Structure 1
Amino acid sequence: MTDRKAQLAANLAHVEERISAACAATGRAREEVTLIVVTKTYPASDVRLLAELGVRHVAENKDQEAGPKAAESADLPVSWHFVGQLQTNKVRSVASYADVVQSVDRVKLVTALSTAAVRAERELDCLIQVALDAESGERGERGGVAPDGIEELAAKVAEAPGLRLGGLMTVAPLAGPYAGREQAAFERLMEFASSLRKAHPAANMVSAGMSADLEQAVAAGATHVRVGTAVLGVRPRLG
């Protein structure tokens, strides 16, 4: 076993312990929570090692990095999640490799994703990114649609060819009423998710929580957590 693989295995084991403990503390079954490893800034060789270690979901936030990495890893049994703010001029590329786009936050993006998915003869799961720091009609500083825009955007995704409405995603806000109150933020997201499922019963994914706050996300009821640093290490500084 290489040093890097041993390091990743140890980090994964620690993250697994954290998720399992968080599930046990709130009476949830461990299988209710899916780990997504965020591999941004790390090479495709790490994706390969992660796959060997049993990871089945990886995420990226920039197409220019994700595209080549996904191509290099095309033989691996992993699902690719796109979690970054997505410009429409990158949609055609992202739709060629992403299985899930977690950062849908505007109607224009839904239209572009639908067109690209149909062209690529693929079906993409889409999560609506919710900005819990956004006032009515505004986008949050980390992307996302204001809570009062969820229903309209969900309807657009649900009726768009080539797209499936998967559920909701958020990033813990740095500002606004939920700053520093991660669990309260994630509990609020769960309320929106419950409302969404009344109209769209299959939209049961709730993606929340990262390395620093995955316990709070699990306690709130998240179905997916996005962990990078805790698995791969502190990210290298890019030039």
Structure 2
Amino acid sequence: MADACARSSRPRADVRLQPITKTVPANILRFAHAAGVTSFGENKIQEAAGKRDALSDLPIRWSIVGHLQTNKAANAARFADEFHALDSMRLADALNARLARDGRTLDVYVQVNTSDEDTKFGLHPDALLPFIDTLPRFERLRPRGLMTLAAFSDDMVRVRTCFRLLRRLRDEAARRDSRIAELSMGMSGDFEMAIEEGADVVRVGQAIFGRRPTPDSHYWPGLVGA
């Protein structure tokens, strides 16, 4: 991360590392917390809720980074500190209603499908600005920026194009809503490139905790055999 920041003339402090802990057992996360990791990112809400209960004695910030079904929004709203995959008004409404009931707020990143892949969740780029215009009605949601999953490809030009598109969309969205300021993009295989293209948050799992026991297709449907 420091090298990527140096290459792009950015202060290292400008980029936040969000460790992704999906499939990592709660007992291992205790060691991670003891080593200084205080924010854990989870893809599946059931797994996150179980770990949250198991680690309730620790001061942990929980980030939900994967697609969330509307019928599970209430569970996420109960304890998540931030959500990186907001992609519909229906989900925004469900989250906002539960947050209002609990007297909580939630930091959110709007997910955009920048790779034009049918297997990816997220708003189509053309749908982003109309969606941004609806966000003020959800008073319990605190928009922070945009999020994307770049193309799963060895073609680094294609990957970089996804990051550049998200940055351009962020600039356009910020003119509609100044709260849309950050870019959540980049994972273990491409976070350096994401930083070079302006990432404010990088979501890194395997580069920290090692290879997951389940294939990527378990968490990112459509990646058969990944």
Query: CA–CA distance in 2 between the matches of 1:194 and 1:45?
Result: 41
What is the correspondence of 1:65-76 to structure 2 with a 5 Å cutoff?
65-76=47-58
Which residue number in structure 2 is paired with residue 44 of structure 1?
A: 26
Which residue number in structure 2 is paired with residue 108 of structure 1?
A: 90
**Identity level (%):** 35
Letter of the structure 2 residue corresponding to residue 145 of structure 1: L
Query: CA–CA distance in 2 between the matches of 1:41 and 1:180?
Result: 30
| 1:25 to 2:18 alignment | no
Which residue number in structure 2 is paired with residue 86 of structure 1?
A: 68
Query: CA–CA distance in 1 between the matches of 2:88 and 2:118?
Result: 12
Under a length normalisation based on structure 2, what TM-score does the superposition of the two structures give? 0.89
CA contact (8 A) 1:174 1:180 kept: no
Which residue number in structure 2 is paired with residue 119 of structure 1?
A: 101
Residues 87-112 of structure 1: CA deviation (Å, up to 9, x unaligned): 01111101111111111111111111
Query: CA–CA distance in 1 between the matches of 2:38 and 2:128?
Result: 29
CA contact (8 A) 2:83 2:108 kept: yes
Letter of the structure 1 residue corresponding to residue 192 of structure 2: E
Letter of the structure 2 residue corresponding to residue 40 of structure 1: K
Letter of the structure 2 residue corresponding to residue 122 of structure 1: R
Query: CA–CA distance in 2 between the matches of 1:83 and 1:140?
Result: 19
The alpha carbon displacement at 1:122 in A equals: 0.8
Query: CA–CA distance in 2 between the matches of 1:21 and 1:100?
Result: 27
Which residue number in structure 2 is paired with residue 189 of structure 1?
A: 166
Which residue number in structure 2 is paired with residue 64 of structure 1?
A: 46
Count of residues in correspondence between the two structures: 215
Which residue number in structure 2 is paired with residue 218 of structure 1?
A: 195
Distance 1:146 1:179, change over 3 A: farther
Distance 1:194 1:228, change over 3 A: same
CA contact (8 A) 1:59 1:82 kept: yes
| 1:165 to 2:143 alignment | yes
Aligned-pair RMSD on alpha carbons? 2.0
The alpha carbon displacement at 1:48 in A equals: 2.1
Where do 5+ consecutive residues of structure 1 fail to align? Answer: 1-18
Query: Could you tell which deviates more after superposition, 23-32 or 73-82?
Result: 73-82
Which residue number in structure 2 is paired with residue 142 of structure 1?
A: 120
Q: Which of 122, 129, 132 is the aligned partner of 1:151?
A: 129
Under a length normalisation based on structure 1, what TM-score does the superposition of the two structures give? 0.84
Query: CA–CA distance in 2 between the matches of 1:52 and 1:59?
Result: 17
The alpha carbon displacement at 1:187 in A equals: 1.2
Where do 5+ consecutive residues of structure 2 fail to align? Answer: 219-226
The alpha carbon displacement at 1:85 in A equals: 1.0
| Ranges of 4+ aligned residues in structure 1 off by more than 6 Å | none
